[in-house]
Amino acid sequence: MNTADLVSNLCKMKKLATFILLTLILALPACGWLRDLNFERGARLTGGDPEAGRKKLGQHSCVSCHVIPGVPMATGTSAPSLEHWYWRRTFVDNYPNTPANMEEWLEKPSHRKPGTNMPDLSISPQDSRDMTAYLFSIN
């Protein structure tokens, strides 16, 4: 193989690599893997409204204790961050991270874990469903 053939092959490989990179940059966000939130998944898993849940997390003062991506002023540090919530396998002393468990936790934390620092906030079943929908939308 002479030098001209080598240079030609390298140029072709560079063009192919550029094409593959651009394809991935355009395709992956459409799949939802690189987005911060996936409202479709949250709604499908819970039957709740993730956008309403985002607002309710702020209204119920969750923001004062937790970091919650996408929720205004959710910069609390006295409780665990809720970043990457969906990917956690368990929460609060090893409860499986399921929508049903999260809804029960939000409605009555003291019933799930006596002595918890998280207060019972009189959250309605609909509010807990919507808040859970938002939490399960976080990538």
Query: What tens-digit pLDDT sequence spans the chain (139 residues)?
Result: 687 777 677 777 788 777 776 666 665 555 544 458 999 999 999 999 999 999 999 999 999 999 999 999 999 999 999 988 888 899 887 899 999 999 999 999 999 899 999 999 999 999 999 999 999 999 8
Instruction: Choose among 41, 129, 131: nearest CA to 82.
Output: 131
What's the one-letter identity of residue 129? R
Question: Residue 1, CB half-sphere, CA atoms under 13 Å: how many?
Answer: 6
Instruction: Choose among 58, 67, 40, 11: nearest CA to 133.
Output: 40
- Check whether domain 39-135 has CATH 3.40.605.10, yes or no: no
- Residue spans of the domains in the chain: they are 1-34, 39-135
